[in-house]
C-alpha cells in the first residue's frame, strides 16, 4: 500500500506518451480532506527546475490539495516556456478539482534541457486522463508510484501506522542520489489531524536522518522534492512525536528501497561511524567515505581496502586522531589504532549487503550513511541516459 493507505486520498497513474516506451508517466495524488495541511523540502541546488520554483512558492501557504507528477521530462532549463508549462499544469489540475492553482504541487523528472509544445500537450493530456482515473485503492497508488519511475527498476512504496492514523508514501530515484535536500521525488500522505507547522517539523526531522543520509553518487538533482500532505480524515489528532516517528519510518523504508535500486550497484553499503565527537562529525566522516570513488571501486572488486577508508576520512575537519581509528569490514576489524589488524582474506565481500564500521574514539556520537559501489553498469547507464 502506498499514498492511498491514508484515508482521504485518491491517486492515479496514466500513460500520456511522454515516454517512448508507452509506460505510465503521469501521476496525480489528491487530498480530499477535510484538511489540506502540507509541508515540503526541496533541492538546495541553485539550478532549480521550473516545478520546484513553482512548488516552493505555492507551499508557502502551508496548504496543498493535489500533487501532479510527470516522468519523461525534467522541465528544467526550459526558459519561460517551461515555467508557463508548470503554471498551466497546475491550472489544469485545479480546473478538474475545482480548487485554486496555488493548492497544486507540481513535480517533474527526466532529462534536463528538453521540452517543447509536444511535451506540454502531453503533460496536460496526462492531467486530464489522471483526473478521470482517480481512485482510493491500492492499485491506484501502485500505478501512481509506477508513473514516476525513470531509471528505477521497481516502484517504491511504504506504510506506517500510528495511534488512529496512517502514513503512506511513494518515491522514485535510482541515480543522482545525494542530500540537498531532498534526494528524489517523494510524496507522503497521512490521515492524521495536524497543522502545517507540525508537518514541517516532522518532515524535516525525518528527512535529516533518512534521505539526507543517502549518498549514492554525490550528484544532486535539480528537481528533488519531498512532500507531506495531511487530510485529517482519520479524525485522530496525532501526538507530534508519534507522527514524526511514523513519517521517519516511511522515509527510512523508502530511502532503503532507493539504495537497493541504485543504478548499476552490486553492493549496498552502510557506513557507520561510532564514537564521534558530534553527530555532525560522524555524518561528515561517513559521507567522505561514501563519496570516495577509490573506496567504491574497491568494494565493487570485493577488495576490503581499509587504507582507502582512512585516506578519505583524513580529508575532513572532524575531531579525531587518525592514528587511533579502528575500521571493520563486515564485522572483521582490519585496522586497529591506525595499524593493520586481521588479515584481509577473512573478509567476505561477495554478499550484496556491506557494512563498514569506523570507530573514531573521540566521543559518543554516531551516524550512518547509505551508499553503493561504483560499477561498470553505473557508468554505462549514465553514459547512455539521453540516448
- Residues 355-368: tens digit of each pLDDT: 999 999 999 999 99
316 labelled catalytic: no
Q: 271-316 pLDDT, tens per residue?
A: 999 999 999 999 999 999 999 999 999 999 999 999 999 999 999 9
Q: Give 135's DSSP letter.
A: B
Distance (Å) of CA 68 to CA 5, 30, 265, 291, 368: 18, 9, 30, 33, 33
The confidence score (pLDDT) of residue 383 equals 62
Retrieve residue 64's grid coordinates.
496543498
Residue that the C-alpha cell 550484496 belongs to: 352
Residue 159: beta bridge partners?
168
Please tell me whether residue 145 adopts helix, strand or coil conformation: helix
Q: Domains of the chain, with CATH numbers? A: 9-260 (3.60.70.12), 268-383 (3.10.20.340)
Grid coordinates representing 284 are 561528515
If you average pLDDT over residues 39-63, what whole number do you get?
94
Q: Where are the alpha helices (DSSP H) in 117-195?
A: 117-132, 138-147
**Model pLDDT, residue 151:** 81
3 with 64: CB under 8 angstroms? no
Average pLDDT of the residues in 1-26: 94
From 109, 183, 190, 328, active-site residue: 183
pLDDT in tens, 169-223: 999 986 544 445 434 799 999 999 999 999 999 999 999 999 989 987 777 778 8
Mean pLDDT, rounded, of the chain: 92
Structure confidence at residue 186 (pLDDT): 95
Dist CA 82 CA 265 (whole Å): 33
- Per-residue confidence (pLDDT) for residue 175, from 0 to 100: 54
pLDDT tens profile 118-153: 999 999 999 999 999 999 999 999 999 999 998 888
Q: How far apart are CA 316 and CA 196, in angstroms?
A: 37
- DSSP one-letter string for 241-286: HHHHHHHHHHHHHHHHHHHHT-TT-S-EEEEEEEEESSHHHHHHHH
Q: Over the stretch 219-255, which tens digit does the pLDDT of each residue have?
A: 777 888 999 999 999 999 999 999 999 999 999 999 9
CA pair distance 318, 282, nearest whole angstrom: 8
Mapped to the 3 state alphabet, what secondary structure does 152-168 carry?
A: CCCCEEEEEECCCCEEE
Q: What is the three-class DSSP state of 109?
A: strand
The pLDDT, as a whole number, for residue 384 is 56
Residue 106: DSSP 8-state:
E
CA quadruple 226, 183, 350, 286: dihedral sign: negative
Give the pLDDT band of residue 385 (cuts 50, 70, 90).
low
How far is Cα 341 from Cα 226, in angstroms, rounded to an integer? 43
Q: What does DSSP assign to residue 197? A: H
Which of 79-88, 257-266, 277-286 has the least mean pLDDT? 257-266
Q: What is the pLDDT of residue 179?
A: 46
Residue 170: CA count within 13 A, CB half-sphere: 29
pLDDT tier at 328, thresholds 50, 70, 90: very high
Among 167, 224, 209, CA closest to 7? 167
Q: In sequence order, what are the residues at sequence separation of 6 or more whose Cβ sits closer than 8 angstroms to the Cβ of residue 367?
A: 213, 272, 273, 276, 279, 282, 283, 286
Contact present, 334 and 347 (Cβ < 8 Å): yes
- Can you spell out the DSSP letters for 45-58? -SS--HHHHHHHHH
Per-residue confidence (pLDDT) for residue 380, from 0 to 100: 67
Amino acid at each position: 500500500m502506498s499514498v492511498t493507505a491514508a484515508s482521504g486520498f485518491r491517486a492515479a497513474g496514466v500513460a500520456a506518451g511522454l515516454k517512448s516506451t508507452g509506460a505510465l508517466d503521469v501521476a496525480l495524488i489528491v487530498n480530499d480532506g477535510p484538511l489540506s495541511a502540507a509541508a515540503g523540502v526541496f533541492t538546495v541546488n541553485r539550478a532549480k527546475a521550473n516545478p520546484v520554483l513553482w512548488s516552493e512558492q505555492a507551499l508557502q501557504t502551508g496548504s496543498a490539495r493535489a500533487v501532479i507528477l510527470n516522468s519523461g521530462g525534467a522541465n528544467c532549463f526550459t526558459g519561460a516556456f517551461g515555467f508557463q508549462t508548470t503554471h498551466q499544469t497546475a491550472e489544469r489540475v485545479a480546473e478538474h478539482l475545482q480548487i485554486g492553482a496555488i493548492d497544486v504541487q507540481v513535480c517533474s523528472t527526466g532529462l534536463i534541457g528538453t521540452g517543447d509544445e509536444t511535451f506540454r500537450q502531453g503533460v496536460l493530456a496526462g492531467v486530464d486522463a489522471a483526473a478521470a482515473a482517480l481512485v482510493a485503492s491500492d492499485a491506484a497508488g501502485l500505478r501512481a508510484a509506477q508513473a514516476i519511475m525513470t531509471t528505477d527498476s521497481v516502484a517504491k512504496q511504504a506504510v506506517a501506522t500510528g495511534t488512529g492514523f496512517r502514513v503512506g508514501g511513494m518515491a522514485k530515484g535510482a541515480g543522482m542520489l545525494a542530500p540537498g535536500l531532498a534526494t528524489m521525488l517523494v510524496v507522503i500522505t497521512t490521515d492524521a489531524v495536524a497543522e502545517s507547522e507540525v508537518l514541517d517539523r516532522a518532515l524535516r526531522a525525518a528527512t535529516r536522518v533518512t534521505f539526507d543520509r543517502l549518498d549514492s553518487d554525490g550528484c544532486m538533482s535539480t528537481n528533488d522534492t519531498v512532500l507531506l500532505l495531511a487530510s485529517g480524515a482519520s479524525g485522530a489528532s496525532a501526538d507530534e512525536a508519534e507522527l514524526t516517528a511514523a513519517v521517519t519510518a516511511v522515509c527510512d523504508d523508502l530511502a532503503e528501497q532507493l539504495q537497493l535500486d541504485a543504478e548499476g550497484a552490486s553492493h549496498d553499503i552502510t557506513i557507520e561511524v561510532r564514537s564521534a565527537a558530534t553527530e555532525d562529525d560522524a555524518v561528515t566522516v561517513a559521507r567522505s567515505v561514501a563519496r570516495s570513488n577509490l573506496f567504491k571501486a574497491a568494494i565493487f572488486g570485493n577488495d576490503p581496502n581499509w587504507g582507502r577508508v582512512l585516506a578519505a576520512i583524513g580529508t575532513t575537519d572532524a575531531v579525531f586522531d587518525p592514528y587511533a581509528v579502528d575500521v571493520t569490514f563486515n564485522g572483521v576489524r582490519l585496522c586497529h589504532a591506525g595499524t593493520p589488524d586481521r588479515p584481509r582474506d577473512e573478509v567476505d565481500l561477495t554478499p550484496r549487503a556491506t557494512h563498514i564500521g569506523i570507530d573514531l574514539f573521540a566521543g559518543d556520537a554516531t551516524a550512518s550513511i547509505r551508499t553503493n559501489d561504483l560499477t561498470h553498469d553505473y557508468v554505462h547507464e549514465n553514459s547512455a541516459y539521453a540516448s
